[in-house]
């Protein structure tokens, strides 16, 4: 069988991509080396845009059931325990039609994503199957696969292959993609604990403990789960640091051993790197195989999920012959500068949190006390060049997702294709031939009669916006001529 797409790796990026492609009816095989979900938590936070991706994958309700909205913000505290700065919590409803931040236990999220795949007869998941080699031929890619349970070897063929195979990606090696280094490589001890019923009350918000002698982060995850991230200092011996007798004293200001069970204590080296060359021919990278982000902003997995939302509709259009394979080159050109902006900010934030020089720390603390530095505002970079028209500042930004008069959220009404939202007055001036051309391309037209959408257009001083399937704004228009002149990447 020749699959439309083979996905290597069933982590969050691979599982989300498989859901998005399954929704579009493509034939997909997912090959995962491990027999089960990686049982230990890594990511604990995602943002509102990512919840919107889950919504578009039809999984918002089950994801909401295993997450909690993060409304309480982040406190920066010095070595003496004085609060230097509070990064305020966020509103219960942000621009994406949900909260701005969510906390979760990664294995539970991965379980929801995997469960979602059972909806699609066209998606096959093969666990315990390791891809050992990737060979591209003219019209297909052949993957050498070892079934680790049956101890058998075989070949899987697909028209396109997406390497969602994590930091040590085999596909990245096959692409021979060099890595751009954004400078941060720092070992941290990640300690996850489950509180017992008699544990003391701990903060419900995140705490950055800015002690130059030992920077640490505390996070309230979900339920009784709590995370501490502890920076390794010169002279620390990693194998010693993870031993309970050395670990607990570091947490003495919060809890004692009798208050919690250790879920795990592992040293991770946080990296800040990005591959150059996410696509060659029929091979592509997504998620940690394409980039790695230090977790100070909680954005590594988020970036991978934005990757696959960007890629899914492009693969669909190319595989169905509606667009040229060149469309796939816009995937990296759009996503790479976007993820780089997040990594660069995480590195800057890391530099601030990781300060170990006492004088520098004093200066930082003084600045913190004086007010909230710009660095803490959430970035909203534009996509890089690609399927975007014009240089209006909204082009390349996600469209907000208001609730319509019916109570339905915008994306639920727009479906999976390109869309035009325009004032009824402007639409009345559009010729029949333009309307027929939109119809032929499957473009959905939404007259902006609903209050929230009409007010948004008015506030932006716009008559119309064109949206892509990933809900980024492709173009804006104010006249029938501008609207008719828009070009669409799929015919
Ligand atoms: C301590 C820590 C905290 C973090 N906190 C956050 C956070 O709060 N928010 C956030 O957004 N991100 C966070 N991250 C990052 C996040 O965990 C990762 O970005 C995310 O898990 C990457 O997902 P992925 O699907 O790209 O790769 P992975 O989850 O690594 O999945 C790759 C999969 O590919 C499989 N695989 C690999 N090679 C092969 C092969 N040859 N054949 C078959 N299968 C293969 C692997 O078994 C694995 O299942 C954190 C990371 C760490 C370490």
User: Which tokens belong to 384?
Assistant: 């890089």
Would you say residue 288 lies in a domain? yes
The predicted-structure confidence for 112-167, as pLDDT tens digits, reads as follows 999 999 999 999 999 999 999 999 999 999 999 999 999 999 999 999 999 999 99
Measured by CA distance, the residue closest to atom 31 of ligand 1 is 11
User: Quick one: 47 and 121 in the same domain?
Assistant: yes
Low-confidence ranges of the chain (pLDDT < 50): none
Q: Give the separation between CA 343 and CA 333, rounded to whole angstroms.
A: 16
From 242, 271, 64, 263, select the one nearest 166 (Cα to Cα). Answer: 271
Domain CATH code at residue 414: 3.40.30.120
Would you say residue 490 lies in a domain? no
User: Quick one: 331 and 418 in the same domain?
Assistant: no
User: Quick one: 20 and 131 in the same domain?
Assistant: yes
User: Which tokens belong to 451?
Assistant: 């209050």
From 278, 398, 388, select the one nearest 328 (Cα to Cα). Answer: 278
Q: Which residue has the tokens 């890619």?
A: 141
pTM (2 d.p.): 0.96
User: Quick one: 424 and 322 in the same domain?
Assistant: no
Give strand ranges (E) for 196-238.
Answer: 206-210, 216-220, 225-231
Ligand 1: atom nearest CA of 289 is 26
Would you say residue 127 lies in a domain? yes
Give strand ranges (E) for 198-353.
Answer: 206-210, 216-220, 225-231, 260-275, 279-280, 283-285, 291-292
By most ligand atoms within 8 Å of CB, the mutation choice from 127, 161, 300 for ligand 1 is 300
Q: Show the domain range for 168.
A: 2-68+100-179+272-352
User: Quick one: 346 and 451 in the same domain?
Assistant: no
User: Quick one: 8 and 113 in the same domain?
Assistant: yes
Burial class (CB in 10 A: 0-12, 13-18, 19+), 357: exposed
For ligand 1, residues with CB inside 6 Å are: 8-14, 31-34, 38, 42-46, 130-131, 164-166, 170, 190, 268, 287-288, 295, 298-302, 304
Ligand 1: atom nearest CA of 38 is 49
Alpha helices in 398-491 (DSSP H): 410-414, 424-428, 432-440, 451-459, 480-484
The predicted-structure confidence for 373-396, as pLDDT tens digits, reads as follows 656 667 789 999 999 999 999 999
Would you say residue 192 lies in a domain? no
Would you say residue 202 lies in a domain? no
By most ligand atoms within 8 Å of CB, the mutation choice from 7, 10, 11 for ligand 1 is 11
End position of a domain, from candidates 352, 367, 386: 352
Q: Is 344 left (phi over 0), alpha (psi -120 to 50) or beta?
A: alpha
User: Quick one: 325 and 451 in the same domain?
Assistant: no
Q: How far is CA 442 from CA 368, 435, 438, in A?
A: 52, 11, 6
CA atoms within 13 A on the CB side of 380: 15
From 156, 140, 117, 121, select the one nearest 8 (Cα to Cα). Answer: 156
Ligand 1: atom nearest CA of 170 is 41
Q: Give the separation between CA 332 and CA 321, rounded to whole angstroms.
A: 20
Give the chain's domain count: 2
Burial class (CB in 10 A: 0-12, 13-18, 19+), 57: buried
198: how many CB neighbours lie within 10 A of its CB?
Answer: 7
Ligand 1: atom nearest CA of 14 is 25
Q: How confident is the model at residue 491, as a pLDDT?
A: 61
Q: φ and ψ at 187, to 5 degrees?
A: -75, 135
Q: Give the separation between CA 286 and CA 15, rounded to whole angstroms.
A: 11
Measured by CA distance, the residue closest to atom 21 of ligand 1 is 301
User: Quick one: 435 and 346 in the same domain?
Assistant: no
Would you say residue 135 lies in a domain? yes
Domain CATH code at residue 30: 3.50.50.60
End position of a domain, from candidates 323, 352, 381: 352
Q: How confident is the model at residue 238, as a pLDDT?
A: 92
User: Quick one: 431 and 324 in the same domain?
Assistant: no
Q: Which residue has the tokens 């190319």?
A: 318
Q: Give the separation between CA 446 and CA 465, rounded to whole angstroms.
A: 10
From 416, 429, 415, select the one nearest 464 (Cα to Cα). Answer: 429
End position of a domain, from candidates 352, 375, 393: 352
The predicted-structure confidence for 91-108, as pLDDT tens digits, reads as follows 778 999 999 999 999 999
Q: Give the separation between CA 299 and CA 305, rounded to whole angstroms.
A: 10
User: Quick one: 126 and 48 in the same domain?
Assistant: yes
**Contact status, residue 175 vs residue 332, Cβ threshold 8 Å:** no
**Contact status, residue 17 vs residue 311, Cβ threshold 8 Å:** yes
DSSP state letter for 375:
G
| Strands 45-47 and 83-87, bridge-based pairing | unpaired
Distance 10 CA to ligand 1 centre (A): 9
Measured by CA distance, the residue closest to atom 52 of ligand 1 is 42
Would you say residue 17 lies in a domain? yes
Distance 142 CA to ligand 1 centre (A): 24
User: Quick one: 295 and 417 in the same domain?
Assistant: no
User: Quick one: 150 and 32 in the same domain?
Assistant: yes
Radius of gyration of the chain (CA): 24
Distance 333 CA to ligand 1 centre (A): 23
Would you say residue 434 lies in a domain? yes
3-state secondary structure of 89: coil
Distance 165 CA to ligand 1 centre (A): 8
**Contact status, residue 427 vs residue 480, Cβ threshold 8 Å:** no
Q: How confident is the model at residue 63, as a pLDDT?
A: 98
Q: How confident is the model at residue 303, as a pLDDT?
A: 98
């Amino acid at each position: 069988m020749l699959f439309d797409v083979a996905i290597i790796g069933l982590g969050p990026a691979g599982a989300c991509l498989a859901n998005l492609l399954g929704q579009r009816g493509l034939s997909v095989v997912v090959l995962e080396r491990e027999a089960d979900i990686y049982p230990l938590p890594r990511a604990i936070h995602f943002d509102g845009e990512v919840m919107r991706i889950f919504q578009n994958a039809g999984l918002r309700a089950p994801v909401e059931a295993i997450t909690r909205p993060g409304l309480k913000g982040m406190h920066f505290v010095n070595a003496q325990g004085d609060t230097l700065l509070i990064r305020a919590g966020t509103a219960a409803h942000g621009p994406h039609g949900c909260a701005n931040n969510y906390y979760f236990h990664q294995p539970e999220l991965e379980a929801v994503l995997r469960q979602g795949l059972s909806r699609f007869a066209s998606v096959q998941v093969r666990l315990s199957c390791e891809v050992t080699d990737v060979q591209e031929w003219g019209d297909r890619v052949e993957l050498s696969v070892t079934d680790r349970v049956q101890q058998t070897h075989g070949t899987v063929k697909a028209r396109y292959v997406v390497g969602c195979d994590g930091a040590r990606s085999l596909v990245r090696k096959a692409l021979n993609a060099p890595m751009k280094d954004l400078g941060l490589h720092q070992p941290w001890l990640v300690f996850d604990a489950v509180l017992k019923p008699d544990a003391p009350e701990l903060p419900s918000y995140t705490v950055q403990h800015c002690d130059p002698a030992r920077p640490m982060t505390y996070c309230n995850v979900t339920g009784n789960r709590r995370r501490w991230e502890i920076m390794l200092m010169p002279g620390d011996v990693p194998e010693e640091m993870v031993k309970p007798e050395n670990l607990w004293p570091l947490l003495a200001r919060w809890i004692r051993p009798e208050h919690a069970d250790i879920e795990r204590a592992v040293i991770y080296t946080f990296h800040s790197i990005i591959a150059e060359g996410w696509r060659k021919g029929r091979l592509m990278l997504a998620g940690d195989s394409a980039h790695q982000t230090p977790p100070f902003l909680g954005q590594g997995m988020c970036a991978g999920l934005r990757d696959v939302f960007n890629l899914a509709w492009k693969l669909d259009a190319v595989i169905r012959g509606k667009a040229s394979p060149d469309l796939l080159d816009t995937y990296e050109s759009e996503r790479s500068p976007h993820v780089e902006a997040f990594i660069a900010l995480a590195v800057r934030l890391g530099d601030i949190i990781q300060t170990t020089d006492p004088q520098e720390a004093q200066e930082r603390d003084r600045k913190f006390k004086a007010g909230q530095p710009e660095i803490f505002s959430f970035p909203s970079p534009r996509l890089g060049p690609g399927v975007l028209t014009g240089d209006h500042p909204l082009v390349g930004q996600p469209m907000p997702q208001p609730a319509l008069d019916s109570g339905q959220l915008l994306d639920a009404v727009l479906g999976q294709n390109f869309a035009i939202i325009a004032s009824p007055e402007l639409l009345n001036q559009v010729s029949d031939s333009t309307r027929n051309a939109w119809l032929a391309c499957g473009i959905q037209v939404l007259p902006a009669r609903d209050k929230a959408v009409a007010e948004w257009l008015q506030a932006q001083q716009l008559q119309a916006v064109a949206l892509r399937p990933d809900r980024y704004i492709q173009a804006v228009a104010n006249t029938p001529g501008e609207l008719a002149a828009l070009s669409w990447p799929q015919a």
